[in-house]
Amino acid sequence: MRGHTKHSRRFGAAWSLVLPALLVLVAGPGCELPDPLTLPKNAPSNHPWKLNFGPRAVNMAVGEVVQLTFDPRTIDGTPIPLSELPPITYTTTNPDVKVDANGRLTSTRALSSVNITATMLSPDSTWKLFEQIRVRIEDAPYAVPSFKMELSRPSPVPANRGPSYSAFVETAPGDTVWPLTSYETDAPPTIYYMSIPSWGAGSIRGLGHVKVVGTSYIFGTLYRDSVDFEILYPDSTSLTIWRGTTYMDPSPSFMARTDQTILKGGKVTFINSNPTLPCSVVFDDEANVVGGNIPVVPASPGKAVTFPNTGKFTYKTSFGATGTITVVDWPAQP
């Protein structure tokens, strides 16, 4: 998908929450928990939940002035005028980068990455809300013919081979720059988890559709682009045999997972992480798997079994665990 050079709205991020007895709200960068659905009973309905501090990824030049912005919201998304809230203070991780009381950002020298934190503290100090953005300062502006995000591998993608999609600017043929960019997805965290919004990659947790949007403020313009991809079953995975105790030799073995679903032609690697008890694996249908009978399952990196055919293939281990590998076809390509 091609980049866009027009201004666009900001996209919020997921923030973590800490709630001591006096209600302290802490929203930090790259937080991993989605917003809770309710505030404590003693929190007023107009309590700020997010500052929506932005732009979240700033690329600027020495001497440039960037106006930082806020869009405070309650937990249900209702906007709150800044005039009704306590003042905001700023801290930076480098003294050469400054933000004045009106939120104007400047820098006296080039820096690869600086964090700026905006903090709001209630007058009675019973709650604090803070959010962070990242800034890169260049010696001078560079050309931005376009802002692009491209998948590192075509969609659909097996769950074990998630793509990367870092945004880039091709300032000239053969000359590429990767600006600071903030990424967000509309996929639920049970499918795709964006643990660190400043990275061009996430963690696959399930099957389904994923859209990732990247936004970047570059020398006075907010750019945005996006990628879409479908997540399939993995084309390779592993099953581990674990040690059951730490006080007995040989220790009993167990498997936390025994069943897997993979794509046709994929592999399942068996690993014995219990050095005190050897283990073998035998498949009921050895004719339709490759390397299915393993007389002695080795430790990591283990022994791979290949599945060239679709179907359900049952195995058993010498210590009594059994399981099934389900093999499905790749989807038809358009």
pLDDT in tens, 31-51: 333 444 444 455 566 788 999
- At residue 158, does pLDDT exceed 90? yes
Per-residue pLDDT reduced to its tens digit, 84-139 = 899 999 999 999 999 999 999 999 999 999 999 999 998 888 889 999 999 999 99
Residues 251 and 188 in one domain: no
Taking CA 138 as the corner, what is the angle to CA 132 and CA 144, rounded to the nearest 5 degrees?
Answer: 95
Q: How many structural domains does the chain have?
A: 2
Residues 315 and 286 in one domain: yes
Indicate the average pLDDT of the chain.
86
Instruction: Identify any residues that bridge with 313 across adjacent strands, giving them in sequence order.
Output: 325
Establish if 189 belongs to a structural domain. Answer: yes
Given a contact cutoff of 8 angstroms between Cβ atoms, the answer to whether 323 and 241 are in contact is no
Q: How many CA atoms lie within 13 A of 101 on its CB side?
A: 2
Residues 189 and 240 in one domain: no
Domain ranges, residue 168? 157-232
Establish if 110 belongs to a structural domain. Answer: no
**pLDDT higher for 261 or 39?**
261
Query: Which amino acid would we find at residue 181?
Result: T
Residues 228 and 259 in one domain: no
Domain boundary residue among 232, 261, 279? 232
pLDDT of the residue at 2 = 36
d(CA 43, CA 171): 49
- At residue 68, does pLDDT exceed 60? yes
pTM as predicted? 0.77
User: Among all chains, which residue has been given the structure tokens 């049952």?
Assistant: 314
Go through the chain and tell me how many residues it has.
Answer: 334
Per-residue pLDDT reduced to its tens digit, 290-310 = 998 999 999 999 999 999 999
Residues 253 and 228 in one domain: no
